[in-house]
């Protein structure tokens, strides 16, 4: 087997797509890894300069990309206290004097600036805060003590996981204290009969999944950022991802949580039971709350058996209508083994091709592509079903062309054409991202209408000299979940783009009773637009909950609620 490493050159495209683009290997230096990947070419909308690879002092000093400057309507809440050396001394006494538990920029802001930077900005570099203090508790007790002290002293707190969010929910706006869960990363217990996993909130998703893989189980959630994101963050944002079609949302798979309220109360709802009808299901409030009512510290989750056999097929389709028919056929013929049905348009695939240079799976181009994954327990049984399905969709003329992964390497390479879109777009410049849920029949209409609108405004053009600020308007997403990602890839920041897009996109979605945030959350990015998907009455009820659990409002302030 010694020559396996030598295969790298021939499998260059695969190696690149699998290891660099999205499926990151788990590494302990999580934050720095994401950062390097993002820094390789992405730049934010708010800044005109390409980012250097590392955070240089020069970059820190140009402060025009601070969230507080980009969003002048956000004002620091005067009720919140300013951090003092006394506060820091108290935290030090709580957490111990080790540097790993606390990053202090209060005593010497300049010296700590580099260390604080990863906690202050998100990976897309759209948001950047001014925190002077990062706390990394190692236990629930420490979290409780920290929050109680912050609550008593009116110090605002932003809980932070892997910081891989897309809506700015996990980074501070002003000088909120960052409560990083990265040291609470242990897997606590696993029951290999029931498949119940209990882990701390800072456990990295891919670490949990690999732990489960060794025991024949699978984590019910999978997403591109799995090498960096934390379970706590996944729950707090109610992340959807690639396996939702098969295993359902976290609202169903999470059995229990342990959380800490701002006053230090530990909410001990760490049930390991599938059935538990005893009063209000309060844990559901924390799933998707984005850290606004408390901090999740532990998670108990039901994990399904890992499928022994997986197959991936990739199709070219002539129209969106064909894609819908293919989806219906897939549900009908593959039913229980269908585990993903993903849609990509030609625009998105052309951009991935431009960035990665990988060999395209199909010889000719088609307006739409879809990726189908099946997971089952018996490889022969599955491939028989899949072949029958492939034959039937080819015969009926539903798909124009397609391919079926013949080995594991091809399987990963095909997935990279879907999972690699986000990063490929990031390499080409700033991206306006809309993660929306729309009734299936009209789903792609949004991309077409948006494209027409941007073109009408004279902003769209894929020309070499770059006269048009928008390069492409593309759409892709989880067709199986009616979840579309509308992406507008830009060349440079131009205030006209945002005016054309917003509130147009949100109004379009509201008219069709869609959701303006299907799986990314609201954070800061969609704070203003919650009204398009939730009525005043609903937002009022949310505010009541917020008021009840966080009466002093110290948890993740300035965000959606």
Instruction: Give the footprint of another protein on this chain (CB under 8 A).
Output: 1-4, 6-7, 9-11, 13, 308, 313-315, 359, 361-363, 390-391, 394, 399, 401-404, 406-410, 412
CB burial of 14-24 (b: ≥16 within 10 Å; e: otherwise) equals bbbbbeebbbb
If you count DSSP H runs as helices and E runs as strands, how many of each does the chain have, helices first?
Answer: 21, 16
Across 382-406, b (16+ Cβ under 10 Å) vs e yields bbebbeebbeebeeeebbbbbbbbe
Decide: 54 and 115 in contact? Cβ < 8 Å: no
Beta strand 266-269 pairing with 295-302: unpaired
Least CB distance from residue 415 to another protein, whole Å?
12
Q: 284 or 403, CB closer to another protein? A: 403
Query: Judged by CB, which is closer to another protein: 315, or 549?
Result: 315
Shortest Å, Cβ 550 to another protein: 39
Alpha-carbon distances, residue 508 vs 320, 343, 473, 479, 535 (angstroms) = 19, 21, 16, 19, 16
| Smallest separation (angstroms) from another protein to the CB of 109 | 24
Helix, strand, coil shares, percent, the chain, to 5: 40, 20, 40
Comparison of 412 and 485: residue with beta carbon closer to another protein: 412
Handedness of CA 231, 237, 243, 248 (dihedral sign): positive
Looking at the Cβ atoms of 4 and 61, the one nearer to another protein is 4
Quote the least distance from Cβ 4 to another protein, whole Å.
6
- Tell me the closest approach of the beta carbon of residue 361 to another protein, in angstroms: 5
The distance of closest approach from Cβ of residue 25 to another protein in the complex, given in angstroms and rounded to an integer, is: 13
Taking the complex as a whole, the smallest distance from the CB of residue 275 to another protein amounts, in Å, to 33
Between residues 358 and 450, which has the closer beta carbon with respect to another protein?
Answer: 358
Complex with another protein: residue 414 or 474, whichever CB lies closer: 414
Nearer to another protein, 125 or 136 (CB): 136
Give me the helix-helix angle, 140-153 and 85-95, nearest 10°.
160
Residues 6+ apart with CB under 8 A from 239: 221, 223, 229, 233, 250, 519
In angstroms, rounded to a whole number, what is the distance separating the alpha carbons of residues 537 and 525?
22
Tokens of 83: 């951090």
- Tell me how far apart the alpha carbons of residues 51 and 262 are, in angstroms, rounded to a whole number: 37
- Following CA atoms 216, 188, 296, 34 in sequence, which dihedral angle do they give, to the nearest 10 degrees? -60
Shortest Cβ 309–another protein spacing (Å): 9
Asked if omega into 503 is within 30° of 0 (cis), the reply is: yes
Compare residues 73 and 407 and give the one whose CB is closer to another protein.
Answer: 407
Q: How far is the CB of 8 from another protein (least distance, A)?
A: 8
Asked if 515 and 436 count as a contact pair (C-beta separation under 8 A), the reply is yes
CB of residue 478 vs another protein: minimum separation in angstroms?
A: 23
Report how far residue 185's alpha carbon sits from residue 289's, in angstroms, rounded to the nearest whole number.
21
| SS3 of residue 144 by DSSP | helix
Whole-angstrom distance, CA of residue 234 vs CA of residue 257: 13
Nearer to another protein, 410 or 445 (CB): 410
Minimum gap (Å) between residue 223 Cβ and another protein = 20
Please, what is the minimum distance in Å from the beta carbon of residue 353 to another protein?
A: 14
Which of 58, 77, 73, 69 is CA-nearest to residue 126?
69
Q: Rg (Cα) of the chain, in Å, rounded?
A: 23
Between 7 and 441, name the residue whose CB sits nearer to another protein.
7
When the beta carbons of 127 and 314 are compared against another protein, the nearer one is 314
Closer residue to another protein (CB): 10 or 69: 10
Residue 90: exposure state from Cβ atoms within 10 A (0-12, 13-18, ≥19): middle
């Amino acid at each position: 087997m010694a020559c396996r490493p030598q295969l790298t050159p021939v499998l260059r495209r695969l190696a690149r797509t699998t290891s660099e683009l999205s499926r990151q290997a788990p590494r302990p230096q999580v934050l720095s890894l994401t950062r390097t990947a993002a820094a390789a070419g992405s730049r934010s909308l708010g800044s005109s300069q390409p980012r250097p690879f590392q955070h240089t002092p020069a970059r820190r000093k140009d402060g025009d990309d601070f969230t507080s400057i980009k969003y002048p309507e956000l004002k620091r809440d005067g009720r919140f206290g300013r951090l003092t050396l006394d506060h820091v001394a108290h935290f030090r006494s709580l957490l111990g004097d080790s540097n790993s538990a606390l990053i202090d920029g209060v005593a010497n802001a300049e010296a700590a600036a580099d260390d604080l930077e990863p906690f202050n900005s998100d990976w897309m570099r759209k948001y950047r805060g001014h925190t002077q203090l990062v706390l990394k508790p190692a236990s629930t007790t420490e979290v409780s003590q920290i929050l109680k002290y912050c609550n008593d002293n009116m110090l605002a707190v932003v809980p932070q996981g892997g910081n891989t969010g897309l809506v700015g929910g996990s980074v501070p706006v002003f000088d909120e204290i960052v409560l990083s869960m990265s040291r609470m990363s242990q897997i606590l217990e696993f029951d290999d009969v029931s498949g119940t996993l209990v882990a701390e909130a800072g456990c990295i998703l891919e670490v949990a999944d690999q732990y489960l893989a060794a025991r024949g189980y699978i984590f019910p959630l999978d997403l591109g950022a799995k090498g960096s994101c934390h379970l706590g963050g996944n729950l707090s944002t109610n992340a959807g991802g690639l396996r939702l079609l098969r295993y359902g949302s976290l609202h169903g798979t999470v059995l229990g949580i342990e959380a800490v309220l701002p006053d230090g109360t530990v909410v001990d709802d760490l049930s390991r039971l599938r059935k538990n009808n005893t009063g209000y299901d309060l844990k559901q409030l924390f799933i998707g709350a984005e850290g606004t009512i408390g901090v999740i510290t532990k998670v108990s989750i039901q994990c399904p058996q890992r499928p022994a056999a997986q197959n991936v097929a990739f199709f070219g389709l002539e129209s969106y209508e064909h894609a819908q028919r293919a989806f219906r056929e897939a549900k009908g013929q593959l039913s229980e083994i269908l585990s993903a049905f993903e849609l990509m348009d030609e625009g998105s695939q052309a951009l991935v091709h431009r960035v990665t240079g990988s060999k395209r799976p199909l010889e000719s181009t088609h307006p739409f592509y879809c990726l189908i994954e099946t997971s089952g327990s018996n490889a022969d049984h599955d491939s028989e079903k899949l072949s029958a399905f492939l034959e039937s969709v080819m015969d009926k003329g539903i798909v124009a062309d397609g391919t079926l992964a013949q080995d594991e390497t091809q399987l990963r390479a095909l997935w990279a054409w879907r999972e690699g879109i986000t990063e490929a777009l990031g390499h080409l410049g700033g991206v306006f991202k809309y993660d929306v849920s729309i009734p299936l029949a009209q789903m792609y209409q949004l991309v077409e209408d948006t494209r027409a609108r941007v073109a009408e405004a004279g902003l769209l053009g894929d020309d070499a000299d770059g006269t048009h600020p928008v390069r492409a308007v593309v759409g892709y997403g989880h067709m199986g979940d009616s979840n579309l990602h509308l992406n507008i890839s830009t060349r440079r920041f131009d205030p006209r783009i945002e005016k054309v897009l917003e509130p147009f996109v949100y109004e379009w979605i509201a008219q069709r009773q869609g959701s303006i945030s299907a799986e990314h959350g609201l954070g800061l990015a969609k704070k203003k637009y919650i009204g398009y998907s939730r009525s005043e009455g609903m937002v009022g009820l949310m505010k009541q909950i917020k008021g009840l659990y966080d009466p002093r409002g110290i948890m993740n302030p300035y965000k959606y609620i």
